[in-house]
Amino acid sequence: MKSFRPVHALAALALVAAPIAACTYNEALGRDQLVLVDESALSQAGQQAWAQAIQSNEISRNAAQNERLRRVGARIVQAAGLGNMNWEYAVFVSEQPNAFVLPGGRMGVTTGLLILAQNDDQLAAVIGHEAAHVVARHAAERYSQTALAQTGVQIATGVSGQYGQAVGALGGIGAQVGVLLPFSRRHELEADRIGVDFMQRAGYRPREALTLWRIMAAAGGASAPEFASTHPSDSTRIAALEAYLAERGW
């Protein structure tokens, strides 16, 4: 495994949510966002994703594993300003290190991640990263970008004949590589930064996030080139996070 690749269930589920047009300022990100889906729709999609995950995967009943998730998760939730809801937690039995936090108060990690994370600080790094995606409204923003890109491709395919089909095919590739994938990499780096903010606020050691990513990188394995991946390369992620921690004095 070349790098940690979290489960972003809402990135796909947001596509079924009812769209509304809005351009809003996100304080956590420090920038404006174009958002075409509201929070209630995302929360409903998250509930559906959670129910499906619980139904289709084996759930760990190990008391120590579940207590660890709840202990670390609750501290990150409070630090992220997401403590105003009743949270559900689950440990999924899987060797693949993974985690997700869904809008509406649902958090899951795999047994593989609990094994890989050598201490609670490293576990908090992953949970903080996933919680950051929720606070940053990345799923809603990614949906908006996807919707706009698809609209552009549909316009291109309106050209008649084989030329129109070729333009449509190239348009799809161009939209994916030129807009959607790089934008998703931006989301990942933003979530890294916000996630360590949550770690520090919750009383965990932010530099353990670097240790975790280095453990992931050392695990090795094949991965797609960075330009064709929705995630930054290990070196890009570690360098960006190290620079941010130095800037914050952590």
Contact assessment for residue 136 and residue 193, using Cβ atoms and an 8 Å cutoff: no
Neighbour-count burial for 133-167, b at 16+ CB within 10 Å, e otherwise: bbbbbbbbbbbbbbeebeeebeebeeeeeeeeeeb
Count CA atoms closer than 13 A to 224's CA, side-chain side. 10
Identity of residue 38 = D
Distance, CA of 129 to CA of 82 (rounded, Å): 14
DSSP code of 59?
Answer: B
User: Of how many residues is the chain composed?
Assistant: 250
Residue from 39, 88, 130, 247 carrying the catalytic annotation: 130
Identity of residue 209 = A
Neighbour-count burial for 36-45, b at 16+ CB within 10 Å, e otherwise: bbeeebbbbb
Looking at 93-139, which runs of residues are DSSP E strands? 99-102, 106-110
Name the 3-class secondary structure at 204: coil
Catalytic residue list contains 130: yes
Catalytic residues: 130
